[in-house]
Amino acid sequence: MKLESKIFLLSVAVLGALASINLVLSAQEYSGMEMNLTISQPICIEISGNYSTGILFTNTTTIGEQYAITEMDKLNNATANYWGPSGGTEYWIRACSGNTINVTAYHCACDDLVCKSGSCAVGVDKLYVSYLSDAGGVGWANATTATGVPNSPPDTTNYYFPGPDSYQMVGGKLEPEGDEQYVYLRYWIDPRPDSAPSGVYNTTYKVRAVEITTDPGTCTC
């Protein structure tokens, strides 16, 4: 009987130990784990048909059609500057209605204007997009309405390309809907240098939109 009692007491002790282990496990917890979520909102912009065709410069006064520039010491119009109704510009960028957030629009010139054909040296002779003192360059202006830019090139402006591959903000807050959905632009060129030989010069430009307050990065074309 004593042996049986000892076995019984041992069994009770084992069961008591297991109960103690289960009690400890039932109180166990983990903390400090990370909960992470990444959201990417879609961003969409549209540009006008004339803008997607290109910025084509013409002589000082001609609108709607490109002619060779002969006045090298003046600001010459882009063809669509005043081509719209009541002299409105046909260069615009618009935020898509499907956006759920506000976006900022930028543009950049990918390079200087380089000789493509003519008596100029192809790929060598250049017209510079950056503005240097009063020597010339490519200028631009923007507005929230098509007719909101003066009907003549500005005499002084900060709106000149600083050089190739540099983004400039053209629309600080483009909303999906409403008055701030559009930004309208006009462009002019005072060719530099004045002594550039005759020919066709061109470069490409880029338009980029990012979420408002986001850095657009470096322009790469």
Read off the pLDDT of residues 160-214 as tens digits, 9 standing for 90 and up. Answer: 888 788 899 999 999 988 767 899 999 999 999 999 999 999 999 999 999 999 9
Domain that holds residue 49: 45-211
DSSP state of 194: T
Is the dihedral angle over the CA atoms 12, 14, 20, 25 positive or is it negative?
Answer: negative
Domains held by the chain: number: 1
Asked whether residue 4 carries a pLDDT value surpassing 60, the answer given is: no
The pLDDT, as a whole number, for residue 163 is 78
User: Is 35 part of a structural domain of the chain?
Assistant: no
User: Is 146 part of a structural domain of the chain?
Assistant: yes
C-alpha–C-alpha distance, residues 61 and 79, integer Å: 9
User: Is 80 part of a structural domain of the chain?
Assistant: yes
What six digits make up the tokens of 1? 């009987």
The pLDDT, as a whole number, for residue 190 is 92
* CATH number of the CATH domain containing 200: 2.60.40
Q: What average pLDDT does this structure show over 3-26?
A: 54
Asked whether residue 24 carries a pLDDT value surpassing 80, the answer given is: no
User: Is 119 part of a structural domain of the chain?
Assistant: yes
Asked whether residue 135 carries a pLDDT value surpassing 90, the answer given is: no
User: Is 16 part of a structural domain of the chain?
Assistant: no
Cα torsion 48, 115, 158, 54 to 10°: value is 0
Asked whether residue 8 carries a pLDDT value surpassing 80, the answer given is: no
Among the residue ranges 49-63, 93-107, 140-154, 189-203, the one predicted with the least confidence is 140-154
Read off the pLDDT of residues 63-75 as tens digits, 9 standing for 90 and up. Answer: 999 999 999 988 8
**Burial bucket for residue 45 (CB in 10 Å: 0-12, 13-18, 19+):** middle
Q: What average pLDDT does this structure show over 47-52?
A: 96
User: Is 1 part of a structural domain of the chain?
Assistant: no
User: Is 21 part of a structural domain of the chain?
Assistant: no
Bond before 193 cis per omega within 30 degrees:
yes
The pLDDT, as a whole number, for residue 103 is 94
Q: Do 41 and 211 touch, CB atoms closer than 8 A?
A: yes
| Residue type (1 letter), 157 | T
What six digits make up the tokens of 133? 């003192």
pLDDT category, 97, cuts 50, 70, 90? confident
The pLDDT, as a whole number, for residue 180 is 76
SS3 of residue 93 by DSSP: strand
User: Is 106 part of a structural domain of the chain?
Assistant: yes
- Cα 24 from chain centroid? 59
Q: Do 81 and 148 touch, CB atoms closer than 8 A?
A: no
Beta-sheet strands, E only, within the chain: 45-47, 76-77, 91-95, 103-109, 113-117, 126-127, 137-143, 168-174, 182-190, 200-202, 205-211
